Structure 1
């Protein structure tokens, strides 16, 4: 069986993997914020996130059936583009975490599927009915509630950076949809990691600085957590449909709130809770409509 062949469906396993990925992503985000407090630059954290993750990823691929043959690709430019927009999205995401409380940065990141719906209509020419457009509008209302543009309770630069990151993630979602038609998931993960490690390697000298053991421990932790979460995320889609596992991404917000409170004594405002609830409801309704659209119609018996 290859990564392109129909997988065995195990919804419970997929949900467990997805919740684990969301939990680890939350802890990784907390480590990024801790790293920023410790004086680490986002570019530097991103570089070492890929550099430290590449060797274990190669080992994991080598031990899989087919070994390193699975990283062969006939679409190098597509992987280059995916890596470029993925790096930009990640860079702005790390930056947003340093500028905003963890819960607010996480909540705004959930706007990515909203942007993805817009992009799928424009670039993939997908039919988007009024149900999904209503969900998109509702999602943007949720974002505005969190941002509170009437009084800007949160720093404007952090809000803008977070929205740019969410839009970048949406671009990644659309690109992966196109690449996955011909490429294995593990192939995409490998080339994203390799290209990002090499690319950031050229610019990191302009941002790097000397660090103590705590700084290096933080960057190693970010790499391990980020790599593990990415693999779990990919594995969840291997054993269960996206409409089953995707709703559990929102458990990351619960961890973000808990970690933000425990480490920085941040307590989300009522606006954050309300906006996050609206965004999550929008995302869940979009997934529900996707499931309805993909369900085969029953024959009418007359």
Structure 2
């Protein structure tokens, strides 16, 4: 999808249009998920304000992610985007007060070293403005995960996804009054591809998490660096800088350590719960 976002930008599509059409696809898929699952009656909520806040944060994070893909080569932007789990650990400790041991803090430190290896401030290895946008996008995306975890205390996942997709169309539709443009047929095809890719990504991730544990599914996201490299070379004649090949594996290692540690702690908690039930 990010390659299509970058391709749309080269064809004159602005950021508001891109986010709007992406969310149309997301809203359609969210509605399909709800209809096939708990039904539309499950969408009732008393936390309207929390959903609005999540929407505002999510749309901003999405727009910045798209902007980073436009400003940077795909591989560089994708590699920096892998810092989301790292920021999530920091925010979970600071905002949610979650206990964070030496394993996760060590992974955080390793991850930020990886970012420095890619960006290399002062050496212009990567455009600093684009890298700053990518890092801010990762931070806001991590913030979204914290908000979702808080919403998860009372809301179904399908409810949160649906209200984000649908409610975001309201302000975006208002902005489209000023930003909408006419496009060639080929450009409309690219926008349709963005909507379809965004919706399918949501459906396939949901399906994958139903069939396999998070610890197995989420590391597969790191394969996106391969596709970003190939598509960047094919569509935009981009070749990753040497700093990406040095820093990206460090960030990926950090993310894998976090996933492994989360999985291990969850398994330990599950075993402890079973043991407690067995003794009562």
TM-score normalised by the chain length of structure 2: 0.91
Task: State the distance in 1 between where 2:28 and 2:260 align.
Answer: 39
C-alpha displacement of 1:66: 4.2
Matched, 1:189 2:161: yes
Matched, 1:233 2:202: no
Match of 2:278 in 1: none
Task: State the distance in 1 between where 2:175 and 2:244 align.
Answer: 35
Match of 2:23 in 1: 50
Task: State the distance in 2 between where 1:244 and 1:224 align.
Answer: 25
Q: In the alignment, which of 177, 189, 208 is matched to residue 149 of structure 2?
A: 177
Task: State the distance in 2 between where 1:235 and 1:176 align.
Answer: 19
Matched, 1:244 2:216: yes
Q: In the alignment, which of 38, 43, 59 is matched to residue 71 of structure 1?
A: 43
Task: State the distance in 2 between where 1:235 and 1:217 align.
Answer: 26
Match of 2:10 in 1: 37
Residues 118, 69 of structure 1: CA spacing in aligned structure 2 closer, same or farther, 3 A cutoff? same
Task: State the distance in 1 between where 2:50 and 2:209 align.
Answer: 21
C-alpha displacement of 1:208: 2.2
Contact 1:110–1:280 under 8 Å retained in 2: yes
Q: In the alignment, which of 179, 185, 188 is matched to residue 216 of structure 1?
A: 188
Matches within 5 A, 1:22-33: 28-33=1-6
Residues 239, 74 of structure 1: CA spacing in aligned structure 2 closer, same or farther, 3 A cutoff? farther
Structure 1 runs not aligned, ≥5 long? 1-27
C-alpha displacement of 1:109: 0.5
TM-score normalised by the chain length of structure 1: 0.85
C-alpha displacement of 1:99: 0.4
Contact 1:185–1:234 under 8 Å retained in 2: no
Contact 2:29–2:200 under 8 Å retained in 1: no
What are the superposed Cα offsets for residues 242-285 of structure 1, whole Å, 9 maximum, x if unpaired?
Answer: 22211111011111111111111211122101111000000001
Task: State the distance in 1 between where 2:156 and 2:245 align.
Answer: 38
C-alpha displacement of 1:53: 4.0
C-alpha displacement of 1:148: 1.5
Regions of 4+ moved over 6 Å: none
Contact 2:42–2:159 under 8 Å retained in 1: yes
What are the superposed Cα offsets for residues 41-100 of structure 1, whole Å, 9 maximum, x if unpaired?
Answer: 1111101111344345434533x1443223222322221111111101000001011100
3-state SS, counterpart of residue 45 of structure 2: coil
Match of 2:88 in 1: 116
RMSD: 1.7
Task: State the distance in 1 between where 2:149 and 2:33 align.
Answer: 24
Contact 1:243–1:288 under 8 Å retained in 2: yes
Structure 2 runs not aligned, ≥5 long? 276-280
Match of 1:99 in 2: 71
- After superposing the two structures, state which structure 1 stretch, 230-239 or 117-126, moved more: 230-239
Task: State the distance in 2 between where 1:287 and 1:66 align.
Answer: 29
3-state SS, counterpart of residue 295 of structure 1: helix
